[in-house]
């Protein structure tokens, strides 16, 4: 069963496009994209076991730390650059965003929405850092070092002259009324399609 943000990204990827997936893990998503959308796929990943798993699926992967730059990728060399649920682990998320819209004609970013009411409840009422199914880590031992909310992300895009082409703030497979009324409060996962302005 695929994570819901990935199903949505799939809908946004045109057929036969060139896709770069930053932090592609074991290549499962790219493999599915390849089957469903006939894309030309490339992944970036740090973990050698993930790279081997991706190779076993026939997915090409470059071992590279995106926090140390992506300047080896030429301008507008991919149709879509994907960063799925990894924004919050980056040391310099804004730099990576800038690179994504430089390298890709479009970019798709998903991240856990820290403005979700459960997070607010944890922090606001309980006074504790949120721990949930999607974010199952204690504050002192987590790869997630840069949390943001939907509103924070929109503000950053504005500052960086990044255009938001599409956005979907979701909690599960079905859109709910609460979601559409107050996405930053009721959406747990944010999915943005962006490009350079």
Q: Which residues of this chain interact with another protein, rule CB under 8 A?
A: 18, 40, 42, 48-49, 51-53, 55-58, 60-64, 72-74, 77
CB of 50 to another protein, least distance (A): 10
5/106 with CB nearer another protein: 106
H runs (alpha helix) in 81-149:
93-103, 117-120
CB of 191 to another protein, least distance (A): 27
100/157 with CB nearer another protein: 100
Asked if residues 149 and 113 have their Cβ atoms less than 8 Å apart, the reply is yes
46/175 with CB nearer another protein: 46
Asked if residues 90 and 67 have their Cβ atoms less than 8 Å apart, the reply is yes
Under DSSP, the state recorded for 87 is: G
Q: Which residue has the tokens 């204690």?
A: 138
CB of 134 to another protein, least distance (A): 25
H runs (alpha helix) in 13-62:
28-37, 48-56
77/95 with CB nearer another protein: 77
Could you report how far apart the first and last alpha carbons of the chain are, in Å? 35
Name the residue among 51, 113, 107, 53 with its Cα closest to residue 76: 107
CB of 41 to another protein, least distance (A): 10
64/88 with CB nearer another protein: 64
Phi first, then psi, for residue 79 (nearest 5°) are -75, -45
Query: How far apart are the C-alpha atoms of 73 and 71, rounded to whole Å?
Result: 5
CB of 18 to another protein, least distance (A): 8
């Amino acid at each position: 069963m695929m994570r819901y943000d990935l199903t949505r990204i799939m809908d946004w990827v045109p057929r036969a496009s060139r896709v770069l997936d930053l932090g592609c893990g074991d290549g499962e998503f790219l493999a599915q994209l390849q089957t469903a959308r006939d894309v030309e796929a490339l992944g970036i990943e740090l973990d050698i076991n993930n790279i081997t798993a991706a190779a076993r699926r026939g997915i090409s992967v470059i071992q590279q730390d995106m926090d140390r730059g992506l300047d080896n990728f030429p301008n507008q060399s991919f149709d879509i650059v994907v960063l799925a649920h990894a924004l919050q682990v980056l040391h310099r998320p804004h730099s990576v965003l800038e690179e994504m819209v430089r390298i890709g004609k479009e970019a798709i970013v998903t991240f856990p929405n820290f403005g979700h009411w459960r997070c607010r409840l944890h922090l606001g009422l309980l006074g504790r850092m949120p721990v949930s199914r999607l974010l199952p880590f204690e504050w002192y031992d987590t790869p997630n070092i840069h949390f943001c909310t939907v509103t924070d992300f929109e503000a950053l895009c504005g500052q960086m002259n990044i255009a938001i082409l599409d956005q979907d703030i979701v909690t599960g497979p079905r859109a709910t009324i609460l979601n559409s009324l107050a996405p930053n409060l009721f959406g747990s996962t944010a999915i943005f399609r962006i490009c350079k302005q």
